Amino acid sequence: MPTALLDLVLPPRCAGCDAPGSLLCPGCTAGLHGQPVRRMPDPSPSGLPDCWSAAVYAGAARGAILAYKERGRTALARPLAGALALAVAAAAGERPVVLVPVPSARPAGRRRGHDPVDRLAELAAGCLRGAGWPVAVARTLTQRRRLADQAGLSALQRAENLSGAFGVTGGRNGAVARSWGGVGAVVLVDDVVTTGATLAEAARALREAGVTVSLAAVVAATRRRVRKIELSDITEGNGS
């Protein structure tokens, strides 16, 4: 039986701490929504916009995101979108915004039956509109080619995997930029930032279409352990 259906017929358990009684208990909700701040990967790839997140990718945030994306608990979209909306608000200030979701890999979308980031972007926009914020969602990024699974790849391998991966629909001759004339801020949105390679590649595609993008917002940011780059990393990254 699908997990989403089980949540309707059985007493739910918190995705963050496994306590019975709710999809996300008040304590885990508070941890997920946290205090949105600018959290950049270290080191950050060239071209990465200023990245804001609602939480660190650990504890309740990690549990909720994994349950939503990988275990079919789609009802968690609303609290996760609330966290994303807080990160967008912190990043953009009081300006009108266009949210541009990073598209999921096609095989992952087929496996899940939906695009989880697209859904979060739409719900986050609804949250912000409800607070009187002028917000639009632009599904203008597309994948040009099939991507390898990013899990387990080094920063160099992720950058190689994503190089040239995204394009922009209607992006020739600055058409996208003209259609967004007067927009206060274009904000890339995703669920998690790890190395920043995905957001940097998405920003590159938008810039090539004439769109200025200086901000990104995610639900959670991974804590990174910076280590020396070994020769084997360079060899593996170039050969992947």
pLDDT in tens, 124-183: 999 999 999 899 999 889 875 565 555 555 555 555 555 556 888 865 544 555 555 556
How long a stretch of residues is the chain? 240
Give the pTM.
0.80
Q: Say if residue 25's pLDDT is above 90.
A: yes
Query: pLDDT tier at 209 (50, 70, 90 boundaries)?
Result: confident
Q: Where are the domains of the chain?
A: 34-239
Q: What are the pLDDT digits (tens) for 26-55? A: 999 999 998 899 999 998 999 999 999 999
User: Looking at beta carbons, which pairs linking 54-58 to residues 24 or more positions away fall under 8 Å?
Assistant: 54/83, 54/84, 54/86, 54/87, 54/218, 54/219, 54/220, 55/31, 55/83, 55/219, 55/220, 55/221, 56/220, 56/221, 56/222, 56/223, 57/192, 57/194, 57/220, 57/221, 57/222, 57/223, 58/220, 58/223
Query: pLDDT tier at 8 (50, 70, 90 boundaries)?
Result: low
Alpha-carbon distances of 239 from 36, 128, 149, 157, 236, rounded to whole Å: 38, 44, 15, 9, 5
